[in-house]
Amino acid sequence: MVTEVNLCGVRLANPVIPASGTFGFGLEMAGEYDLNILGGISLKGTTLEARFGNECPRIAETPDGMLNSVGLQNPGIEALLSEKIPQLRKIYGGVVIANISGFGLEEYVKSCTAADKCRDIDILEVNVSCPNVHGGGMAFGTSATAAAEITAAVKAVCTKPVFVKLSPNVTDIVSIAKACEEAGADGLTLVNTLLGMRIDINRRVPILANRYGGFSGRAIFPVALRMVNQVSRACSIPIMGCGGVSSASDVIEMMMAGATAVQVGAENLKNPYACKEILEELPSLMQKLGIEDINEIIGVA
């Protein structure tokens, strides 16, 4: 039974990847189970400089999901490269995906240039879609022209595969995906969180200090699945599908929609062993469905 997949020449033992922002830098789970069972790890989103993030409260529960307005709290690119990744590589030999965010073209270029030089990073995931930071990624991710500009600039300084992570907060995700592909993107990750809100009806104020936040969790799976399918039919580059994935059957469904690999996000926050349990379930599900090679189902729907 074959579970190995290929992302632009980078081989993953299986398609299951903890999504950025839901698994820290991998180190937080190192004592809980062997991380080497994972196909890859998408590290916590990193910016050029360290960030404290948004004011609290910045997490709110919703039915079958959650809102977050963390605001890209991270130690900065230098700490990622000099501290976090070397520590991770002591315990993990799989695919490392660096998730890079920025507040301007120059920041993206500087961070990606530095990350591309790190031998322990396999794939760059350029986040143009974070809806939580004022003046940040969302402006790039909602414009085909701006997304293409970031893509081209990053590709000009990188030798490693570049995946652009797209926002679902748009009316036509296909046009943005195609613009990124034409600008040189090696692959795409979709989708990031939807923009949402909750209100404390007793206090009559928004629950999140930032008012709005990124909506993720099981409730958004059908939206993510639809967008993955639309983009896979329009583009020829590989896709990492993400959004509401919580089970092995979701992984299969996402791959049938057109994803080559599948990221598990908010489910990790609900259940830190989610990826482990999905991987334990996957072989028996493949056998039940008569799938000998998981690659044969990519895009069959």
8 Å CB contact between 279 and 230: no
Strand 187-190, strand 162-165: pairing = parallel
Give the span between the Cα atoms of 298 and 301, in whole angstroms.
8
**pLDDT tens string 113-166:** 999 999 999 999 999 975 434 444 456 888 899 899 999 999 999 999 999 999
Does 134 map to a domain?
yes
**pLDDT tens string 242-299:** 999 999 999 999 999 999 999 999 999 999 999 999 999 999 999 999 999 999 999 9
Q: How high is the mean pLDDT of the chain?
A: 95
8 Å CB contact between 167 and 138: yes
Does 201 map to a domain?
no
Specify the pLDDT at position 136: 44
Specify the pLDDT at position 140: 85
Specify the pLDDT at position 131: 45
**pLDDT tens string 39-76:** 999 999 999 999 999 999 999 999 999 999 999 999 99
**pLDDT tens string 276-286:** 999 999 999 99
Specify the pLDDT at position 134: 42
Which residues contact residue 193 at a Cβ distance below 8 angstroms, ignoring those fewer than 6 apart? 68, 131, 168, 213, 214, 215, 216, 220
8 Å CB contact between 215 and 193: yes
Does 98 map to a domain?
yes
User: With 90 as the cut, is the pLDDT of residue 211 above it?
Assistant: yes
Does 16 map to a domain?
yes
In percent, the amount of the chain with pLDDT more than 70 equals: 97
Does 204 map to a domain?
no
For residue 244, what is the domain's CATH number?
3.20.20.70
Give the span between the Cα atoms of 271 and 219, in whole angstroms.
16
Does 211 map to a domain?
no
Q: Which domain holds residue 89?
A: 5-53+74-194+217-297
Half-sphere exposure (Cβ direction) of 191: Cα atoms closer than 13 Å = 34
Q: What is the mean pLDDT of residues 215-234?
A: 98
User: What are the catalytic residues?
Assistant: 130
Domains in the chain: how many in total? 1
Does 267 map to a domain?
yes
Does 209 map to a domain?
no
